[in-house]
Amino acid sequence: MSAVSELMSKKNVVSIQSNSEITALDISKLMVKNKVGSVLVLDSANLPIGIITERDIIKKVCVTNTLPNEMKADKIMSSPVITIMSYDSIETAAQKMTHYKIKRLPVLEENQQIASILSLTDITKHLSKILVDDYKRFRFLKSIFESDWDYYSSLFYLLYQVLHLVII
């Protein structure tokens, strides 16, 4: 199975400092400007302490009928942030996403610094490539067998006979 580092987004991670006076409106503008769906909240050592997603803004600002320029980032961030290491497997990432019901995982390097964000879309793209490749291989093999079925069936029968003699 592939490692998280092979699939993670190559985009720059958008982040803010936790002690800032940034509002939900500022976060929304930052997301739109950078074409991202989340913003990480970092502490003074640049370690992730929270994440703000589009969904957080909808649930904690829009639904509560709060003005976005009055809601501070620390009030809408999801914390503690669930992370994954860059060397972990995609299977581990998918299990974490499923368990915590999240769509984005900040990826950490061994020194605990942010490397990227792995999204459900990154995993889906990877899996779709695997499926397409497998389908192409299957179609290729199917075309070979269909074109020369008599030849291959005779070859398989001969191989079976040889293996049968070797085993007995």
**Using one digit for the tens of pLDDT, what is the confidence trace for 86-100?**
999 999 999 999 999
The per-residue DSSP string of 14-83 comes to PEEETTS--BHHHHHHHHHHHT-SEEEEE-TTS-EEEEEEHHHHIIIIITTT--TTTSBHHHH-BSSPP-
pLDDT at residue 149 is higher than 70: no
57 neighbors 84 (Cβ within 8 angstroms): no
Residue 112, sorted as left (phi over 0), alpha (psi -120 to 50) or beta, turns out to be: left
pLDDT given at position 1: 66
Segment 3-23 mean pLDDT: 88
The partner residues of 105 in beta bridges, in order of sequence, read: 118
Residues of the chain with pLDDT > 70, as a percent, come to 90
